[in-house]
Amino acid sequence: MQALVGMDYATTQYNGPAAGVIFAAPTGSACEGMVRVVPFAKPCTSVPAMFPPNSKISDNLGQVAVYELGGNNGQALLLPSAQSCIVISVASAAQ
């Protein structure tokens, strides 16, 4: 089961559109998760400053940096696109 979500953000860090996919997939004893895609009009090198405290880079998949988000908040992939950065965050409600 899944749902597509269109979002309009109005925060100090981002103001604009985003998209998400909420899905139900078995993860042990629960089954919830989310993938969110947000385009930032800034280079990917400046995006990690917005992440929760204690976030750290965990891998590089080619030019895509993968971060473990602090506070057990999931993962984020930083996909560079021209002068922008597409941030793809993945979270599971079942921790």
**Per-domain residue ranges for the chain?**
2-92
Q: Which pTM does this prediction carry?
A: 0.79
Q: 70-74, 78-82, 90-94 — which is least confidently predicted?
A: 90-94
Categorize the per-residue pLDDT at 17 as very low, low, confident or very high, splitting at 50, 70 and 90: confident
Please give the Cα distance from 4 to 22 (Å, whole number): 7
CA dihedral sign, ordered 28, 68, 73, 80:
negative
Higher pLDDT, 78 or 92: 78
Cβ atoms 29, 71 nearer than 8 A = no
CA dist 22 to 12, 40, 45, Å?
25, 21, 27
Compute the average pLDDT of residues 56-62.
95
